[in-house]
Every structure is written in C-alpha cells, then in structure tokens.
C-alpha cells in the first residue's frame, strides 16, 4: 500500500512542478541580444551576445534559445549548435538559470558574404525538472549586422587600358588652379592678360606670365549594371558576377576617395529594406569626398538587393539629365545598343565614360 501512495505522490509532484514551470517559468525572464560591431568586412570575426536574466525565485533547469539565421553567418565555437530544418538554418543554445541570475554568453561569428543580416525573433523553450513538459514562446529580439563588400587590390581589377586609374592620378583629373602659382614663363599667344606677371616682366624686359599649378577638381560616378540580359523580366542567374561588380565598385571608390576625388555611386538595384515595398527606388549617391562618404557607400552597397528596380538603359537615361562634365566608370556584364545610345548622349554633354565589362561565360572580367 505504501508503494502505491509513493507512486501517487510522485506523480502528483511531477504534475504540480510541471504546472508551476509551465505557468510561471517564462514570467520575468528577460532576453536581449546584439552584435558587438555595427559593420564588418567578409571573413572578419565579430560577436553575437546573448543576455538572459531570471528575475524571480523559481529556478530554470533548462532554457533553450532558438533563432533562424542566415547560412552565411558561421559560428566558430563548438558549443553553438546549428540545425537545418526544412532548408532553413537555426542557431540553438542552452541555459540553466538560478533564481535572480543573469547569464551573458558570447558567440564568435564570421560572415563570408556581403549583405545586411537581421535577426528578428527568438524562440524561448522552457522545460520542467524531469522533462515531463515544456513551454515555448516567441519574442522580438532584433539584432543587425552590415557586411561590407569584399575589397580587392586595384591590380586585380581588369580596368580599361586607357583608364585614369592606371597611374592613380593622371593629368585629365587635374585642372589649373588660379590661386596656386608655380613660377613664371615667357608670354605666348593666347595667354590671358590677367596672367601677366608685371614684376617679372619689368625684371626681365620681356613679357612674362605666371604659371599655375594643378589641383584635383573632377568628380567620378561609378555605375553598376545589374542586368545580365536585355530582358528585364529575366531573373539574375549569375549573382556571383554581380557580386564581383559590387566588389570592384567598392574597391575603386576606396582608392579614388583616398586620393581626394569626389566619388559617387549608382545602380539599377534597390536596398533590401524596400524588398516588400511597392516602390523600389534605384540607387544614386552624389559624388562627395567627405570623411563619411566611403562608409556611406559601403553601407549602401552592402544593402543592395540581388534584383532590379528598372532596366539599366532607363536608369542611365534618367541619370543623363544630371550628368555634365562628370567622369563615369560603368561596370556592366552586357553592352546593348540601348546602353550605347545613352552613353553617346552623356558624352555629348561633356562627360567622359569608360566601361568595364564583366565576362559572363567564365566569370573572368576584362576591360573594354
């Protein structure tokens, strides 16, 4: 008889503790997470930080956190469990919390691909002492990380043979600065009278003019074409080719801005934030050489969707209305008659256009 009562009492205790954990286990449980960096380059290590606190007297024997993550986020620690379910990857980690305890756990992560990664919700699953029952709850726990485009050496970019980037800074990038004098020379036919140096003329007895030094004053627009064919309805079949173009654009902008050249960027894609929007705006960033211009370019390039807002000839035609005396580097996988027509229009407005073609068949790139 005593054995029967023991079994009954045991079952009742199991049921009671199960009821307690199911009803109050997740109350006063606080969870936050964040990345320790706002932005990184591909392959750079960063941390995802989990903070869980149990603000009540009831202990938590085990608490499982589960969140859907991109397969491009690679966790390096052995205790981080990655599970693939229905072609989606989930990150799982376990906690055990005493009363009024807070636990912070840091996960080392690396990302291999450009992008804007958002962790939105996390599932908290709580179990009782004997594992008889469990309760799950989904909560908002946002964390974002920006992964910049991969940078390559300029020597690895197959720029056009006549490109201004061959020698970093060539004469067509510089104009005479009327405020900087670099000596005098003898007057020649066509020199403006306001350049005459009267002191040097009186000293030599021959008409002399001031020589002006050169200073950088041009600005550059880098345009990237997301079209692989002239058919706007065709999906992008070779995203690696477009990623190469983004990498080239970021690397060139890094160089030109470091040389004090005002640099901008445009493309016929859109930001991933607009993916669910009815209106998807093409990208146009005005040329500047401020201290934060490069970061702004990196961030926008990182957030580019692998899609198009419009076809490239239409985008370029809209851009042509704002392009006067602008140096342009166009990165594209195709060169259609429609694109060539717009290029001619741009050049008649005093702009110089150079084209870097990306070869689709082999993935190797070459300049034109």
DSSP 39-94: EE-TT-EEEEEEEEEE-SSS-EEEEEEEEEE-TTEEE-STT-EEEEETTEEEEEEE
What confidence score (pLDDT) does residue 278 get? Answer: 85
Task: With a cut of 90, say whether residue 315 has pLDDT above it.
Answer: yes
CB 226 within 8 A of CB 307: yes
With tokens 């704002």, the residue in question is: 322
What confidence score (pLDDT) does residue 178 get? Answer: 46
Across 240-253, average pLDDT: 96
Return the number of other C-beta atoms located less than 10 Å from residue 322's C-beta. Answer: 12
Nearest alpha carbon to residue 342 among 322, 363, 367? 322
What confidence score (pLDDT) does residue 15 get? Answer: 65
Task: With a cut of 80, say whether residue 71 has pLDDT above it.
Answer: yes
**Most confidently modeled of 65-74, 211-220, 355-364?**
65-74
Give the CATH architecture of domain 154-172+217-367. Answer: 3-Layer(aba) Sandwich (3.40)
Q: For residue 22, give the H/E element and its range.
A: helix 2-24
Task: With a cut of 80, say whether residue 252 has pLDDT above it.
Answer: yes
Across 48-72, average pLDDT: 92
What confidence score (pLDDT) does residue 221 get? Answer: 95
Structure tokens at 116: 């804007």
Beta strand ranges found along the chain (DSSP E): 29-35, 39-40, 45-54, 60-69, 73-75, 81-85, 88-97, 101-111, 115-127, 134-147, 174-186, 208-216, 219-224, 262-267, 283-288, 327-332, 352-358, 365-367
Whole-structure pTM value: 0.79
Pick among 3.30.43.10, 1.10.10.10, 2.30.40.10, 2.60.40.1530: CATH of 26-147: 2.60.40.1530
What confidence score (pLDDT) does residue 248 get? Answer: 97
When mean pLDDT is compared across 33-42, 164-173, 205-214, the lowest value belongs to 164-173
Could you tell me how many residues make up the chain? 368
pLDDT digits (tens, 9 = 90+) for 86-127: 557 889 888 999 999 999 999 999 999 999 999 999 999 887
Delimit the domains of the chain by residue range.
26-147, 154-172+217-367, 176-215
Structure tokens at 258: 């470091």
Task: With a cut of 90, say whether residue 198 has pLDDT above it.
Answer: no
Nearest alpha carbon to residue 346 among 365, 334, 329, 360? 329
CB 227 within 8 A of CB 308: yes
CB 82 within 8 A of CB 91: yes
**Which residues are CB-contacts of 8 (< 8 A; sequence separation ≥ 6)?**
none
What confidence score (pLDDT) does residue 318 get? Answer: 93
Mean pLDDT, the chain, as a whole number?
A: 83
- Find the farthest-apart pair of alpha carbons in the chain and give their distance in angstroms, rounded: 132
What confidence score (pLDDT) does residue 176 get? Answer: 45
């Amino acid at each position: 008889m005593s054995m029967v009562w023991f079994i009954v009492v045991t079952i009742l205790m199991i049921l009671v503790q199960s009821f307690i954990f199911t009803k109050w286990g997740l109350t006063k449980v606080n969870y936050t997470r964040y990345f320790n960096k706002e932005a990184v380059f591909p392959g750079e290590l960063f941390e995802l930080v989990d903070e869980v606190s149990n603000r009540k007297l009831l202990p938590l024997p085990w608490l499982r956190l589960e969140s859907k993550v991109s397969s491009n986020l690679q966790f390096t620690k052995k205790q981080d469990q990655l599970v693939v379910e229905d072609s989606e990857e989930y990150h799982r980690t376990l906690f055990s919390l005493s009363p009024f305890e807070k636990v912070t756990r840091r996960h080392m992560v690396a990302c291999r691909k450009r992008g804007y990664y958002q962790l939105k919700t996390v599932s908290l699953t709580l179990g009782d002492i004997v594992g008889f029952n469990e309760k799950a709850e989904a909560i908002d726990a946002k964390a974002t990380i920006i992964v910049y485009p991969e940078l390559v050496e300029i020597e690895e970019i197959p720029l056009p043979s006549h490109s201004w980037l061959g020698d970093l800074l060539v004469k067509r990038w510089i104009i005479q600065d009327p405020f900087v004098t670099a000596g005098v020379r003898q007057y020649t036919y066509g020199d403006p009278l306001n350049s005459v140096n009267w002191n040097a003329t009186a000293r030599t007895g021959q008409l002399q003019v001031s020589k002006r030094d050169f200073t950088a004053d041009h600005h550059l627009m880098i345009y990237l074409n997301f079209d692989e064919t002239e058919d706007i309805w065709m999906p992008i079949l070779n995203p690696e080719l477009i990623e190469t173009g983004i990498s080239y654009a970021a690397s060139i902008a890094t160089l030109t801005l470091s040389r004090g050249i005002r640099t901008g960027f445009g493309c016929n894609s859109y930001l991933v934030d607009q993916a669910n929007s009815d209106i998807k705006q093409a990208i146009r960033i005005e040329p500047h050489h401020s201290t934060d211009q490069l970061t702004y370019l990196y961030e926008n390039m990182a957030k580019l969707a692998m899609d198009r807002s419009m076809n490239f000839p239409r985008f370029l035609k809209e851009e042509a209305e704002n392009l006067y005396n602008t140096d342009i580097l166009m990165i594209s996988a195709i060169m259609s008659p429609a694109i060539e027509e717009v290029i001619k229009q741009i050049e008649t407005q005093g702009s110089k256009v150079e084209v870097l073609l990306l070869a689709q068949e082999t993935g190797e790139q070459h300049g034109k």
